[in-house]
Structure 1
């Protein structure tokens, strides 16, 4: 998003050294760069602590997991020391075992995903946090070399260990290529692309970003993929009145719709004679209320009527957090569209999904740029 659109919005004060955040207090720095910095600091800390990306940092018990009060009161903010009695505090330590647990099983897919994130972040943080940018790239290249030296660690657990190994590896190769321009990564991009099984969505957008750094023949391969995607998109547009893919699984499909819109836009930019790009605005319309079941916007605080009861940190108040994006309309078989307006605890309909936030930001920046170009 930063590299394409440069959103300079500054509405938050963030002081990493003091661990202080104040909403609605500008601090002279783009919020999106500070968000990137925050994530990179966590990833770098994982590699420093255990040598690889880890797949979870979560509550130590069910009581804390289901905690419904102020999130800041979940822990005492002190390091647990078993030598102390419960309730006892001394020297910045506490006898209460309320610290988060880190799950440190190694997964190559997760490592490659983190390589991609660090390589991309190193570009974004350049001239903003130069030492962190340099360290991010150094870790990304070192871990790539380490992963390439052995058979992959294939441990998987739910959605915590990255996507398919070959997709994560391809994404890492692309981000390293864009950042370093090294031929070794271009060769990996070409090799890994041929291994992907019918690439679409995020993998296809990733491949498009590699185009300026690849031989001309690579464009021909992507053109074939673009034609295949457009054929599928034409079928999708005929399948329902909304012209976007509507998932029918156990989790509603806002993410799938946003992914569709972003892919339509990216392919239109690269191959305007093949992909018309109209899927972008159909996705925007769907997310904001043009969907089955109701006309409620699935982004809290955005739209005339939007989600005002959702599963976030204030879920016990049956309230919402402005800007949160929910999965949305769940199709209950065979054909009943449901999105509860009075019950936040259905995750598959009403949970604020962290990665949908930045995806929505990218979608709206793309829509704004598209509309500006059309004027």
Structure 2
């Protein structure tokens, strides 16, 4: 009998099957709505490596790898990769060989890790299956020692920020991902962790979320455990874990993972525009980011917001820029729109946040939050009040004890066989409990962040006449009152605050400190009021014992340690900052200015010949020339002619302002000629991205580096306006304010613009809050090609504030834009 099928059924049977997950030409598995990378990244400490899942353009799971703890933290052991990943296109597999320990991190390096006495190798393989599925398998070279059974397991981490309040199902047991980590705590292999949320054979994540649903099924290995890693580390994720069984080698762990995808999914266009706005004469170029398969361009509408609502001020076709990262890019130029007002952009039903056009757009609410809030809040050794609020009480009055020798401390502090001073390890060093700013999302003081802040503030005073008073800074009472003017220029008071710390150490030790930091990790990771980090009880300054030998600090002391170093490059950076500060303080604080310049010249005399770093030598010389007009410094700069030209990419910005003081015309002409080629290279870098600035993140988001690039381009433009393009430094500012890659287009400057980073990695990150005027590191690159800026306070590599450039470089660029707008530029 002949069967006649209904027309609709015939159509369905003719429809091609959904695409399978397959290896692409970038070396990872991909299909519309799903990407799976395998050890493509380099940063396990920051939840960036291992088996990683990107669902519908969002990284939802990462760090799939063997770990030695159920819930690892920042200083937990991580493996090392052995060779490159093996990509097998015939069988649609990627495999990576790894091993414990990583000798490069074992008790050494910037963040030294203490590895246990365990050595083993293993191999993680990921194989694409049909549809959305893939298999993870782990092979060990040999069985684990008996004492490590129950301790080693395969961890797969689920990003918490987009799971709060959503549900999960483990076999027949269901639950909700909690907003905060809840108990009960249980002891597990010597550490306290939160009891598993669920155990079983198959986990379904967020079944109600079409764009986020994922199933994980155990085939071999221990049962699945769903854990909340935040129970013992604030920055933890939700963790799916299975223990490696005793005696297991081949297929010790085997899972099937199936992230759900929406058929035919495409990345929705993102409009990237300054969240603050543009001066009337400024170039105004919005960037539109589209799915790589979407190369069509539809009209863009510029909307003017008036008293009667919105009207279309311009309708036009965007221009194709091309491919970058994983997207296709368009640009929409509306530079000829000069009428002041509020505007939005609309494209394919997507509308940007409102922004202003006007010559006063940078005159208020732009750079001011950095000076009004961020710098005061970061001030160490002070009580910082804001009306009813106390940001932190007087802190670190017990600074500081001389550090141990031959010690590799946390966070990049290392001491050699000598303290390099007359102070013995553990002996109190006077003069260090005044001035300085807490470095970043932590409370230590680094000399480079102190002097970097001093130099940039000095440049703002010198270049733009910065004179602004919104804060009372009382050094005698060690008290700050935000939004209570005291009749003094806040910028000069902040410069003074930095010098109190730098010169205080120099007076006491006869040299610079490397940094001041607490002795233990437990203190270092403390969040909350800075005054609680130490007991603030000053150790007796006379620590000599009856036999005249300096006593060690008492073992219970929680005082911070001061580290020293032999580092002529860093000393010359300080020389430059001290010389600049001396110039701007000369009239109001002549004694401090004189001490600052004297220290700069003394440091220069002993550091200059101990380094061949041309860039920092040129920086120091240029600032000293501007401060002293000394013929000897000019002769030294001219003598560096060949080295300066060879390194012109890193020297032009520093020496340009000093060239009018140089009488040697041949020298000046040679530098001018070299800058022509230098700026050609800068333009090539800028044109390599749709943003008009280079974007090449390493670990941290590229925001800080782009700001630094912009400040340097400002100085080159000032010295060579006919050669250097001013739009490049304005592009750097726009990048910070929202014209940057990825779907998150927030301004990196907290509290600045219509949409900004209001959850940040400051010292208040555990409160999911922000400090106005702080500037986050910004959009990071999840290798190989995903720009990412998550709303998450525990990603230092994306949302950390930092002193020494992060906030003050932004402030400088905003002031530069304001000065240009006031001139009608």
Say whether the fold is shared (TM-score over 0.5): yes
CA contact (8 A) 1:118 1:140 kept: yes
CA contact (8 A) 1:57 1:103 kept: yes
Give the gaps of 5 or more residues in structure 1.
85-92, 155-163
Q: Judging changes above 3 Å, is the alpha-carbon distance between structure 1 residues 79 and 39 closer, same or farther for their aligned structure 2 residues? A: same
Q: Judging changes above 3 Å, is the alpha-carbon distance between structure 1 residues 77 and 136 closer, same or farther for their aligned structure 2 residues? A: same
Q: Judging changes above 3 Å, is the alpha-carbon distance between structure 1 residues 318 and 209 closer, same or farther for their aligned structure 2 residues? A: same
Could you tell me which of 672, 688, 707 is aligned with 1:239? 688
**Residue 586 (structure 2) pairs with residue 129 (structure 1):** no
Using the alignment, how far apart are the partners of 1:108 and 1:282 within structure 2? 34
Match of 1:190 in 2: 638
Could you list the per-position Cα deviations for residues 213-265 of structure 1 after superposition, in whole angstroms to 9, with x for gaps in the alignment? Answer: 11333332332232123212322233121111102311211122212322333
**Residue 714 (structure 2) pairs with residue 265 (structure 1):** yes
Q: Judging changes above 3 Å, is the alpha-carbon distance between structure 1 residues 145 and 262 closer, same or farther for their aligned structure 2 residues? A: closer
**Residue 820 (structure 2) pairs with residue 370 (structure 1):** yes
Match of 1:361 in 2: 811
Q: Partner of 1:328: helix, strand, or coil? A: coil
Match of 1:75 in 2: 534
Could you list the per-position Cα deviations for residues 180-229 of structure 1 after superposition, in whole angstroms to 9, with x for gaps in the alignment? Answer: 1111100122233532453335x322111111211333332332232123
Using the alignment, how far apart are the partners of 1:83 and 1:213 within structure 2? 50
Using the alignment, how far apart are the partners of 2:708 and 2:649 within structure 1? 10
Match of 1:181 in 2: 629
Match of 1:109 in 2: 569
**Residue 819 (structure 2) pairs with residue 339 (structure 1):** no
Q: Judging changes above 3 Å, is the alpha-carbon distance between structure 1 residues 170 and 100 closer, same or farther for their aligned structure 2 residues? A: same
Using the alignment, how far apart are the partners of 1:240 and 1:178 within structure 2? 36
CA contact (8 A) 2:569 2:607 kept: no
Q: Partner of 1:245: helix, strand, or coil? A: coil
**Residue 668 (structure 2) pairs with residue 219 (structure 1):** yes
Using the alignment, how far apart are the partners of 1:275 and 1:59 within structure 2? 45
Could you list the per-position Cα deviations for residues 352-372 of structure 1 after superposition, in whole angstroms to 9, with x for gaps in the alignment? Answer: 011211111111111111222
Could you tell me which of 98, 103, 118 is aligned with 2:578? 118
CA contact (8 A) 2:736 2:747 kept: yes
Using the alignment, how far apart are the partners of 2:704 and 2:598 within structure 1? 32
Q: Partner of 1:374: helix, strand, or coil? A: coil
Match of 2:517 in 1: 58
User: How far off is 1:82 after superposition?
Assistant: 11
Indicate the structure (1 or 2) with the bigger Cα radius of gyration.
Answer: 2
CA contact (8 A) 1:116 1:171 kept: yes
Q: Partner of 1:57: helix, strand, or coil? A: strand
CA contact (8 A) 1:246 1:257 kept: yes
Match of 1:252 in 2: 701
Using the alignment, how far apart are the partners of 1:61 and 1:333 within structure 2? 33
Match of 2:508 in 1: 49
Could you list the per-position Cα deviations for residues 51-73 of structure 1 after superposition, in whole angstroms to 9, with x for gaps in the alignment? Answer: 11121111111111000121121
**Residue 769 (structure 2) pairs with residue 309 (structure 1):** no
Higher helix share: 1
User: How far off is 1:95 after superposition?
Assistant: 8.8
Q: Judging changes above 3 Å, is the alpha-carbon distance between structure 1 residues 327 and 199 closer, same or farther for their aligned structure 2 residues? A: farther
Q: Which range is displaced more, 296-305 or 119-128?
A: 119-128
Could you list the per-position Cα deviations for residues 132-191 of structure 1 after superposition, in whole angstroms to 9, with x for gaps in the alignment? Answer: 11111122222322335xx62x7xxxxxxxxx8432222111111111111110012223
CA contact (8 A) 1:245 1:256 kept: no
TM-score (norm 1): 0.88
Q: Judging changes above 3 Å, is the alpha-carbon distance between structure 1 residues 283 and 315 closer, same or farther for their aligned structure 2 residues? A: same
Higher strand share: 2
